[in-house]
Structure 1
Amino acid sequence: MSTFFDLKLTVQAEHIDILKHVNNVVYVQWMQDVASAHIEALGLGLAQYLELKHAMVAVEHHVQYRKAALLGDEIVLRTWLHDINTLYSFRQYAFYRAKDKSLLFTGSTKWACIEMASGRSKRMSPTFIQAYQPLSEEINPFDFGNLD
């Protein structure tokens, strides 16, 4: 079992669209960014992918935009692993505004393990399975009360 992972950022001008809020595509990029930071923190990032010759790739995203994020907002990108089997891991996300704990975005991604040389599906190695443990059921990732 594992815990959630948080990455803080401040909304910049390049994140804003013509409607003066964070562009929808930016949230998907942030999903990738926080997932990458999380796997690095778990000790199974790009360097290990290259060494092991297999990697996890996104095969399916589900997103829900709940409230707008605006220029200058401090946002917390939260992610956690929800489930795992020998071919797939399932990751969830909750992004919220730090000052008022407003939930801005939720999402999930299905990740597939592939052999890097061929791009074909591959069963996850024990190294991957050990690192990618689901969030403990005792932890509520939507409890934003214990923040800095």
Structure 2
Amino acid sequence: MNWDLPTPFTQPITVMSDDIDELGHANNAVYVRWLERCAWRHSNALGLGLEEYRELDRAMAVVRHEIDYLASAYEGDELEMATWIISWDGKLRMTRHFQLCRKRDGLTLLRARTTFVCIELSTGRPKRMPEAFIEGYRKGMTETPEGF
């Protein structure tokens, strides 16, 4: 794949019949579900899964999605979703970049950015990241080119 950045965390996706809308291609809402699933799997790989979130009474909650739908995906397409943590302040906010490519031709179907904020699960209020988040997400941070 021709990834936007080096060393992505990737996840394979197969477009299923339930993903297809009335227009005959994967529905836009399905892409959002794929973004979320990829982010969760990357967090789990960094040692920050739902169990750790609950123990720490913290979570990373989405506050903004920016999605560019570049081409359609169709039933049976084999895709690869990539993600990188491209910025974070080590306190409250973190931003991920995503790229979705079709395996057979390498075409990029989607690019997205999602901004997360750390919240306290028990109150739902923004709360500073615990040290476990700082250490875990630092391992997933990608060096990004100037202006990316």
Gaps of 5+ in 2: 1-5
The answer to whether the aligner puts 1:135 opposite 2:142 as a matched pair is: yes
Note the aligned Cα RMSD (angstroms).
1.3
Q: Contact 1:3–1:136 (CA<8 Å) still a contact in 2?
A: no
Identity across aligned pairs (percent)? 39
| Deviation of the 1:18 alpha carbon | 1.0
Aligned to 1:126: 131
Aligned to 2:114: 109
3-state SS in 2 of match to 1:132:
helix
| Deviation of the 1:127 alpha carbon | 1.1
Gaps of 5+ in 1: 139-148
Q: Name the CA distance, whole Å, in 2 between partners of 1:54 and 1:137.
A: 27
| Deviation of the 1:129 alpha carbon | 1.2
What amino acid sits opposite 1:71 in the alignment?
E
> What TM-score, normalized to structure 2?
0.89
Aligned to 2:3: none
Q: What aligned pairs does 1:1-148 form with structure 2 within 5 A after superposition?
A: 3-85=7-89, 86-133=91-138, 134-137=141-144
- Flag as ranges the 4+ runs of structure 1 deviating above 4 A: none
| Deviation of the 1:109 alpha carbon | 0.6
Q: Contact 1:93–1:106 (CA<8 Å) still a contact in 2?
A: yes
User: How many residues are matched?
Assistant: 137
